[in-house]
Amino acid sequence: MKATQWLSIRRIMVLSLCIVLMAVTAACSKGEGNSGNGGNAQGSNASSGGNAKDGYDKKLKISLASTIKLEKPDVLDNEFHKYWSDKFNLEWDYNYVEWDSWPEKLRLWINSGDLPDVASWNYVHGDAINYIEQGLLYKLPDDWKERWPNVAAAYKQTGLGEKLEELTGGTYVLPKPVYFENKPADPLLNQIGVIGLRKDWAKAVGFELKDAYTVGELMEYARLLKEKDPGKVGNKLVPISFDINDSLTNIIMANSAHSRVESAFYKGADGKYQWGPANEETLNALKQYQAAYKEGLLSPEFYTWKSQEASQKFSINGVAGITSIGGLASYRQDIDTRMRENLGLDSSEVVHTAIVLGDDGKYRNLEQANFWSSIIFSPNISKEKFERVMDLMDYSISQEGQLLLNMGFEGKDWKYDENKELVSLLPEGTTLEKKYPSRFEGLYLLGDDFSVVNPAIKKEFRERAVKHYQDKAKLSTEGGAMAEYDWDVQLYDSKAKNQAGFDYATEYTNLILQEGDLEANWKAWVNSKMSLVQPVLDELNSLKK
């Protein structure tokens, strides 16, 4: 072959290769490849994502801030975490944030420009608006909902996301949805307000088991326990094992729906905004709270307890008759595990759960906006890193991703039975958290959603949790006193409102511990707060004029 002929053939081959490369590049730019959405996201039941073989040929190191603690140095090397890092060809630069320092830590990082690439942030509306105005948070591309449809579908369920878009003209925050495909009831009320009691002790003292109790009835049970000590625990007995936050939820709020920070400012029957802590029903609730303390139904040291100490008295020490457990089936499962491990007890035999009513028989709780906390990105995150995280989140919300996150690996940790029902293969007493600790890769959709259907949680616990949600919905709309979620209040931000954000659990506890007449002390407290409260009421009432 002549040299001139070879050169001509070579030019044709090079030209053909260039055309092919141009076609591939064009396809990728249109989202037909794996770089944008993992290649095959088809909605909430789709399997999306990819690995080095699927297009993630460049390994990325991505910094992440989360409140999930890595339990040991090599935790990221276990099979579960390795699956995610291999699938998306990334390395995590993990930053653990202590729960108690979470708000302040994130505030410092954001304001100083040191925010990790992606972070879990406990959403504060006023701060969010300020951060957005100052350019301190990453603005998602306008087409993000088309590129990551699973994230978009879950995001839509929060309500807050779209409200923020109206205010800011874009997407800067991804509120985390609590429920997506497994919402247990409508209206959805907050999961708080569920208690557990020792039903073996109740049987011993002749106390009736019911699905709902008034605060007064629970106090009567506590008095019986104190008198008869059916568990034979002597001076270690804690009839009602509540800390100050549990007491706010199950004593104060049960009688006064607008006593919490989430609902303190509310619109009254006359159409004007009021302040719930100044209501007479809050005073009456405080009287019960003080009585429980003075009678020794609460621990003498309850107001010093930190997170989990109240629950430990019930499920680890076995010395408490009543505790607050929240409404999630996973919380109930935790109680079961701890009682087996520490007390050798089957909680199905000794624990009964119920919701708490006010002494007038009405059910009060907070309507729940379907979000808790949020995902934010550093304004300095690269496009590559942002897209990789979004691909991971989109996959995590798919059916395949949710099964992996919540049940582990098919064939090893779970299977489908002959009826296509999910069956856990984990040995009795083993949990997914024990096998694969610190599973933080479920960055977006909260675990509450899957807990409704997760077979790793006992069916009786799941069914009971759904019943509590449904009872709350029914009782809150049939003569109850639900504190409705008011977007006007929740999304209103001002200096006055920020100054009036009191720590009510501490404030109420100080009142019931204070010497002197409770009603006089309460009135003085209300008056002392009005210089901060009244400006907020004036501002909210002016919104409607």
On whether the CB atoms of residues 534 and 527 are closer than 8 A, the answer is: no
- What pLDDT does 210 receive? 97
| Residue range 134-176, pLDDT digits in tens | 999 999 999 999 999 999 999 999 999 999 999 999 999 999 9
What SS3 class is residue 348? helix
CATH number of this structure's domain 194-366+483-543 = 3.40.190.10
Say yes or no to pLDDT of 23 above 90: no
Say yes or no to pLDDT of 539 above 80: yes
Q: Bridge partners of 198? A: 351
Say yes or no to pLDDT of 506 above 50: yes
CA angle 12, 18, 21 (to 5 degrees): 145
What SS3 class is residue 344? coil
Pure H helices in 317-357: 329-343, 347-350
| Residue range 36-62, pLDDT digits in tens | 333 333 333 333 444 444 569 899 999
Say yes or no to pLDDT of 320 above 60: yes
Residues 6+ apart with CB under 8 A from 371: 123, 158, 159, 160, 161, 175, 176, 177, 178
On whether the CB atoms of residues 284 and 277 are closer than 8 A, the answer is: no
Higher-pLDDT residue of 96, 307: 96
On whether the CB atoms of residues 98 and 122 are closer than 8 A, the answer is: no
% of the chain surpassing 90 pLDDT: 73
28-49 in b/e burial notation, b at 16+ Cβ within 10 A?
A: eeeeebbbbbbbebeebebebb
| Residue range 450-504, pLDDT digits in tens | 989 988 889 999 999 999 999 999 998 877 788 889 999 988 889 999 899 899 9
Q: What confidence tier does 191 reach under pLDDT thresholds 50, 70, 90?
A: confident
DSSP codes joined into one string, 237-305: -EEEE--HHHHIIIIIHHH-TT-STTTSEEE-TTSSEEEGGGSHHHHHHHHHHHHHHHTTSB-TTGGG-
Say yes or no to pLDDT of 12 above 80: no
- What pLDDT does 7 receive? 33
- The CATH class of the 52-183+371-451 domain is alpha beta
Whole-prediction pTM: 0.78
**How many helices and strands, by DSSP H and E, does the chain display?**
24, 14
The one-letter amino acid code at 164 reads L
- What pLDDT does 55 receive? 66
Residues 6+ apart with CB under 8 A from 491: 125, 163, 167
| Residue range 277-296, pLDDT digits in tens | 999 999 999 999 999 999 99
% of the chain surpassing 70 pLDDT: 89
On whether the CB atoms of residues 332 and 325 are closer than 8 A, the answer is: yes
16 vs 27: CA distance, rounded Å: 17
Largest CA distance in the chain: 111
Q: In the chain, what are the domain boundaries?
A: 52-183+371-451, 194-366+483-543
Output the average pLDDT for the chain.
88
3-state percent breakdown (helix, strand, coil) of the chain, nearest 5 = 50, 15, 40
